[in-house]
Amino acid sequence: MEPVASPPRRPRISITYCTGCNWLLRAGWMAQELLQTFGEELAEVALIPGYGGIYEIRLDEELLWERKRDGGFPDAKEIKKRIRDRIDPERDLGHIDRVTGPAS
């Protein structure tokens, strides 16, 4: 009997948000956006309550976004690109990847 190959490990996203700042809805919205785009490619998206103005998004242990360091809150487009670039660089994100110019 041949050994069965285990499926590849899927990455984990964590979003740490400040409870005192009431950023749960923002974190939940971002989690929804990431699950909708990468649902089957991720092991989980975790929401982690914190304090002190924290808002961080991590892919496994890598810090992708930090509110204070990166100047505010990310839009979903930017985080999706950063995640894609790490887990599946060849993946097309559709309209997110389209370059748009000025209106004619």
The pair of three-digit structure tokens given for residue 43, joined into one six-digit string: 């092991």
Residue 99 lies in a domain: no
**Sheet arrangement for strand 12-18:** 44-50, 12-18, 55-59, 62-66
Instruction: Find out whether 59 and 16 touch, Cβ atoms under 8 Å.
Output: no
- Residue 78, domain CATH: 3.40.30.10
Dist CA 65 CA 42 (whole Å): 18
pLDDT band at residue 5, thresholds of 50, 70 and 90? confident
Residue 17 lies in a domain: yes
Q: Is pLDDT of 2 > 90?
A: no
pLDDT in tens, 24-63: 999 999 999 999 999 899 999 999 999 999 999 999 999 9
What element of type H or E holds 55? strand 55-59
Residue 20 lies in a domain: yes
**What is the average pLDDT across 76-98?**
89
Look up the domain containing 75 and give its range: 12-88
> Percent of the chain having pLDDT more than 90?
73
Q: Is pLDDT of 97 > 80?
A: no
Count of domains in the chain? 1
Per-residue confidence (pLDDT) for residue 102, from 0 to 100: 62
